[in-house]
Amino acid sequence: MVAKIARFLAPIALAAVGVGVYLIVHSTVVHHTTTATQSNSPAVASGPKHKARRHRRVPKYYIVRSGDTLGIISSRMHVPVSVLTTLNASLESNPNSLQTGQRLRLRR
């Protein structure tokens, strides 16, 4: 009796694996084609989805806080790391020498 049932389980398992693979591949292909189609479509003139960001003036100095790195300061203050190192002579020799409370120049 068990041998008769086992004889039918192998084709069922094979079909289940095939259906699973098809669904995974199909969902990936559909996702990639809709993403590509959406990114290439022209913008709809219904209005912006978010408010326009106003350009704020970058402060002249930044006081280093605990855990800050040049990368974090650069992204937070919208100033490239290269500008930070050229404006601050102490960082040119060792950019990893930030100390809590240190004052960094952000612009001229």
Alpha-carbon distance values, 58 to 48, 61, 79, 90, 106 (Å): 26, 9, 8, 21, 7
pLDDT the model gives residue 43: 52
Q: Which of 68, 108, 67, 71 is nearest to 88 (CA)?
A: 108
Q: What is the pLDDT of residues 95-106, one digit of tens each?
A: 788 889 999 999
Closest CA to 101 of 72, 71, 66: 66
- Which residues have a Cβ under 8 Å from the Cβ of 68 and sit 6 or more positions away? 98, 100
Question: Which pLDDT score is estimated for 51?
Answer: 57
Under DSSP, is residue 4 helix (H, G, I), strand (E, B) or coil? helix
**Residue appearing with tokens 């199909």:** 26
